[in-house]
């Protein structure tokens, strides 16, 4: 499968949207996520689709770096 699966996508999102030390941290760790992404958390397919888009963005950046 190409793209990030559900767990990997959540892990990558946590890295991108990590709450700052000044923010209060919820038990689930998703408080730093934009509301649109938090709304998708209950749908595994939506998170996997987002993970696939994130993965392809990484691939595009790597290909572009090789072309430069």
Q: What is the pLDDT along the chain (68 residues), one digit of tens a residue?
A: 688 999 999 999 998 887 665 555 555 678 888 999 999 999 999 999 999 999 999 888 888 888 76
* Residue 7 pLDDT: 94
Task: Give domain limits for the chain.
Answer: 6-67
The 3-state DSSP class for residue 31 equals: coil
pLDDT at site 31: 81
Helices (H), the chain: 6-16, 35-40, 44-67
pLDDT of residue 29: 75
Q: What is the pLDDT of residue 26?
A: 58
What pLDDT score was predicted for residue 20?
60
């Amino acid at each position: 499968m190409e793209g990030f699966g559900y767990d990997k996508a959540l892990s990558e999102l946590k890295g991108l949207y990590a709450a700052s030390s000044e923010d209060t941290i919820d038990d689930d760790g998703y408080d730093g996520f934009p509301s649109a992404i938090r709304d998708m958390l209950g749908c595994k397919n939506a998170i996997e689709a987002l993970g696939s888009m994130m993965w392809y963005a990484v691939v595009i950046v790597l290909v572009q770096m090789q072309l430069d």
